[in-house]
Amino acid sequence: MTTSSSSLTQKVIQGRWIGKIMLILASVGVVWVIGNKAAENPTLFVQQIINGLQLGFVYALIALGYTMVYGIVRLINFAHGDVFMVGAFVSYYCVAKFGLHNWLSATFPGINPGLSILVGTISVILVAMIICAIMAITIERIAYKPLRNAPRISALITAVGISFFLEYFGALDFVFSPNFITYKRPFEVVTYYIKSGIFQLEKGVAPPSGSIIFSNIFIIIVVVSLGLLFLLQFIVQRTKIGKAMRSSAYDKPTSRLMGINVDSIITITFGIGAALAGAAGMLYAIAFPSIYFLMGVTPGLKAFVAAVLGGIGSIPGALVGALIMGQAETLTAAYISTPMRDAIAFTLLILVLMIRPTGIFGEPEREKA
């Protein structure tokens, strides 16, 4: 039947156009729906883009931990989302219980309050990062290291077990308690609006219609995330540890022969990933100030999807994937259907994997030798 058909049909079939046309039609439909609604209210659209960026940068910080650990040990570290949760809680305790954000003005009373808050916020982030890193390194030593040579599935099940443990240990009454806790921000929220210029919005005043609103939370999230991303890029590309990480990810036995202590490099990778997750936990809690012991599950999964979307193992891929994920989520919530927000991430993932089986920036899988 195919031999007698015309060359056009042949071309359509062999050029894989049937699938592509369907996909293009579907995406044109989606773009049309969103574009129509966006054209009705362009400021709302820009607002959603800003919200999506804010979410995307937080996802990027989490996704980096997934992607680095996967790149080096080929382990999907499901406990990573719960490290993120611990980061949020640590920063909460720092601010609400110990008042760490005020330490500068407490020790030097006459100091400029703005500077004090800035230094305080940075030190809270640093404490969250350090505690998360120490925790992740301990977990790695206790749970993952003995399984280095075991089947990969054992390490995966262990990761799920650790995830369970962190969640439900955190849910105990004397740890984090199983309730929702209102997060206390270390600084005051200042809101700005853009309408022919940037103005500060007074408290309790409604913004003028047709203006785009953003707050200092957005600025903090973007600045901190970009700073950490550049720091990570510097560590990975310019330092000796980064070089060792890259070489271990590429070929472990050869790296060992070159005198690299692969075990400690793996531990450091876990630590760096967890530090980023800790920072992300605090930023997320600042943006969505309600924390509880299962809060890490959904952002963790989304960030993981972002890492896969960008090509797991690739650092720029994680950033790009996370930004796409953030946009997809906010646009779906705003224009298509709010409850489907959580499903859209995976629909997108499955579609992308069908076209690019190893993600956007992923290297093609090596053929088995």
Q: CB of 301: closest distance to other proteins in angstroms? A: 7
Contact 72/84 with Cβ under 8 angstroms? no
What is d(CA 212, CA 366) in angstroms, rounded to the nearest whole number? 47
28 touches other proteins (CB under 8 A): no
Candidates 71, 125, 349, 361; binder of other proteins (CB under 8 A) is 349
Q: CB of 292: closest distance to other proteins in angstroms? A: 14
Of 91-99, 161-169, 189-197, 213-221, the segment contacting other proteins by CB under 8 A is 161-169
Of 94-102, 200-208, 269-277, 337-345, the segment contacting other proteins by CB under 8 A is 337-345
253 touches other proteins (CB under 8 A): yes
Classified as helix, coil or strand, 194 is strand
How far CA 239 is from CA of 24, 120, 202, in Å, comes to 44, 29, 46
Q: Please enumerate in sequence order all residues whose Cβ is within 8 A of that of 236, keeping only pairs 6 or more positions apart, or say none.
A: 242, 245, 246, 315
Would you give the DSSP letter of residue 101?
G
Candidates 106, 150, 219, 258; binder of other proteins (CB under 8 A) is 150
118 touches other proteins (CB under 8 A): no
**Count of residues that bind other proteins according to CB under 8 A:** 67
Question: Under the phi-then-psi rule, with left for phi > 0, alpha for psi from -120 to 50, and beta for the rest, what region is 204?
Answer: left
Candidates 8, 109, 114, 173; binder of other proteins (CB under 8 A) is 173
- CA-nearest of 169, 167, 286, 183 to 225 is 286
Candidates 6, 14, 107, 209; binder of other proteins (CB under 8 A) is 14
Of 50-58, 86-94, 196-204, 334-342, the segment contacting other proteins by CB under 8 A is 334-342
149 touches other proteins (CB under 8 A): yes
312 touches other proteins (CB under 8 A): yes
What is d(CA 56, CA 225) in angstroms, rounded to the nearest whole number? 10
What is d(CA 265, CA 213) in angstroms, rounded to the nearest whole number? 44
Of 13-21, 122-130, 222-230, 237-245, the segment contacting other proteins by CB under 8 A is 13-21
